[in-house]
């Protein structure tokens, strides 16, 4: 009887050897015991390479899925599994496949082997994507056009401009996923978050950047649509290179010399305004006060409420500072949540600290972001008072900055003063 079982096992393996369907047999732990030629061809390895210790054929993002699959089969060996998962080719590109796996048990009901047959979906998915591209979009376009697998973000098809603009051949680009060419999905948003958002809206206009094969980046604006086709879900994206528009916007902002969020003077305009202010102060033999402000725990505001709310807080603070200061004063946003206020005509430390406390009092009232949200915002303020004659602006700003860090170190929500010649 054992001989007959052995012969049957040999016959089955010979059948596996000639079947065009990639087939593998592994132990309960997942260690490979047998693979057929179709399996090695699909993954680009030889049989000897596949049995080498350390070779990983599952896509890194799906390794946890392997454990779940084996756990299910070990718990219920009579129920075969069918699931989509990704493999990794020898050259590194992912292969989307349908895995069909069944367990073989001994007379005691213990799992002795796991038999897997794999259907490579890459070709069929790319064929469907090609059909979709031809049916819905023109072959040639002034914009790059992509058809993307909605589940994993793989690029399934594209027009000529898409791969040429990025510096790839079409074959190379179809081995990549959207996160490979768009840093938005590596940094501020995961692909899963994007899919969830698209299922809610079905259409989105996204401004981001694309990365060329040589590593250089350029800004894009992409119109993304979710499309159902032959029972599967795709994203169709039309991406426009907006480098020229961005350059014009940048030139316009530079010409205006204003911070785009707050409309406060940027560093270039600050330099010009300080020159004029100091000339006038020198003529009148006035001292000049520098106040450096920083929002306490601003990162927490961004992390908790998002950058849109964070921007509204910055804008609200800028408006409060503009309302508080005189026409002769300068209010500038230095970057992030840091602001500089320059006030001529203050001739004593007590006067400076009095105005600093007044600023803290004015900004201590809740910031009304919208009808449903008000935030308590605290500032750390550092101040210094300098002679206008032969004033070293960098030294004055550094003194105010150091004073601000003293107030922050003391717990924030307060002011500190450093003499200008103490820097």
Give residue 217's pLDDT: 94
Give residue 381's pLDDT: 95
C-beta separation of 160 from 139 below 8 A = yes
Q: Token pair of 379, please?
A: 């500032």
Helices (H) and strands (E) in the chain, counts: 15, 17
Give residue 122's pLDDT: 79
Give the residue, 318 or 30, on which the prediction is more confident.
Answer: 318
Give residue 147's pLDDT: 92
Angle at 223 between CA 222 and CA 227, to 5 degrees: 130
Give residue 139's pLDDT: 63
C-beta separation of 111 from 105 below 8 A = yes
Torsion of CA 349, 351, 356, 362, to 10 degrees: 170
Name the helix (H) or strand (E) containing 162: helix 160-166
Q: pLDDT per residue over 5-47, tens digit each?
A: 455 466 667 778 888 889 998 888 888 888 999 999 999 999 8
User: Per-residue DSSP letters for 255-303?
Assistant: HHTB-TTT--B-HHHHHHHHHHHHHHHHHTT-EEEEEEEEETTHHHHHH
- The number of beta carbons lying within 10 Å of the beta carbon of residue 208 is 18
Please, what is the end-to-end C-alpha distance for the chain in angstroms? 94
Mean pLDDT of the region 302-318:
92
Give residue 335's pLDDT: 84
User: Per-residue DSSP letters for 92-104?
Assistant: S-EEEEEEEEEEE
Q: pLDDT per residue over 162-197, tens digit each?
A: 999 999 999 999 999 999 999 888 776 788 888 888
| Structural domains in the chain plus CATH codes | 2-120 (3.30.450.20), 124-245 (3.30.450.20), 257-422 (3.30.70.270)
Q: In what order do the strands lie in the sheet with 32-35?
A: 32-35, 23-26, 111-120, 94-105, 81-88
Answer yes or no: is pLDDT of 212 > 80: yes
Give residue 180's pLDDT: 93
- The bridge status of strand 287-295 relative to strand 330-335 is unpaired
Answer yes or no: is pLDDT of 273 > 90: no
* Helix segments in 174-241, DSSP class H: 178-181, 191-201
Q: Token pair of 7, please?
A: 């012969």
Q: CB neighbours of 42 closer than 8 A, spacing ≥ 6?
A: 22, 87, 95, 97, 118, 120
Q: pLDDT per residue over 95-145, tens digit each?
A: 888 899 988 888 888 888 888 899 888 777 776 777 666 656 556 678 999
* Spatial distance between the Cα atoms of 420 and 290, rounded to a whole number of angstroms: 9
C-beta separation of 199 from 193 below 8 A = no
* Spatial distance between the Cα atoms of 173 and 210, rounded to a whole number of angstroms: 13
* Spatial distance between the Cα atoms of 330 and 38, rounded to a whole number of angstroms: 73
Answer yes or no: is pLDDT of 255 > 70: no
Q: Token pair of 67, please?
A: 């454990």
Mean pLDDT of the region 237-264:
83
Mean pLDDT of the region 243-262:
80
Sequence length of the chain is 423
Give residue 282's pLDDT: 86
pTM: 0.45
Share of the chain above pLDDT 90, in %: 41
User: Per-residue DSSP letters for 32-89?
Assistant: EEEE-HHHHHHHT--HHHHTSTT---B-GGGHHHHHHHHHHHHH-TTS-EEEEEEEE-
Chain mean pLDDT for the chain? 87
Alpha carbons within 13 angstroms on the beta-carbon side of residue 72 total: 13
């Amino acid at each position: 009887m054992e001989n007959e079982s052995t012969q049957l096992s040999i016959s089955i393996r010979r059948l596996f050897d000639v079947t065009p369907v990639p087939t593998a047999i592994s132990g309960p732990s997942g260690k490979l015991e047998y693979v057929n030629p179709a399996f090695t061809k699909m993954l680009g390895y030889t049989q000897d390479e596949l049995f080498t210790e350390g070779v990983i054929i599952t896509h890194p993002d799906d390794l946890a899925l392997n454990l779940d699959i084996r756990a299910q089969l070990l718990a219920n060996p009579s129920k075969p599994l069918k699931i989509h998962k990704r493999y990794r080719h020898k050259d590194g590109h992912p292969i989307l496949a349908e895995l069909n796996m069944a367990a073989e048990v001994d007379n005691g009901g213990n799992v002795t082997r796991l038999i897997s047959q794999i259907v490579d979906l890459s070709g069929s998915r790319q064929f469907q994507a090609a059909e979709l591209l031809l049916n819905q979009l023109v072959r040639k376009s002034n914009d790059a056009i992509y058809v993307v697998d909605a589940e994993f973000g793989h690029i399934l098809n594209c027009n000529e401009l898409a791969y040429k603009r990025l510096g790839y051949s079409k074959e190379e680009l179809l081995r990549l996923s959207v996160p490979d060419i768009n840093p938005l999905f590596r940094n501020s948003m995961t692909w899963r978050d994007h899919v969830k958002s698209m299922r809610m809206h079905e259409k989105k206009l996204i401004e981001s950047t694309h990365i060329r094969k040589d590593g250089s980046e350029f800004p894009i604006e992409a119109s993304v649509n979710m499309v159902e086709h032959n029972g599967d879900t795709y994203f169709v994206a039309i991406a426009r290179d907006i480098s020229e528009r961005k350059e014009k916007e940048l030139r316009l902002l530079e010409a205006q010399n204003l911070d785009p969020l707050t409309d406060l003077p940027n560093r270039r305009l600050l330099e010009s305004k300080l020159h004029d202010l100091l000339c006038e102060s020198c003529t009148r033999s006035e001292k000049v006060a520098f106040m450096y402000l920083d929002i306490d725990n601003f990162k927490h505001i961004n992390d908790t409420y998002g950058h849109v709310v964070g921007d509204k807080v910055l804008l609200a603070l800028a408006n409060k500072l503009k309302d508080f200061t005189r026409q002769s004063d300068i209010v500038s946003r230095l970057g992030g949540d840091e602001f500089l206020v320059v006030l001529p005509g203050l001739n004593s430390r007590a006067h400076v600290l009095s105005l600093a406390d007044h600023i803290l009092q004015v900004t201590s009232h809740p910031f009304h972001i919208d009808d449903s949200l008000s935030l308590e915002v605290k500032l750390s303020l550092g101040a210094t008072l300098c002679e206008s004659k032969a004033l070293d602006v960098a030294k004055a700003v550094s003194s105010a900055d150091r004073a601000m860090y003293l107030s922050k170190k003391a717990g924030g929500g307060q002011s500190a003063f450093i003499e200008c010649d103490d820097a």
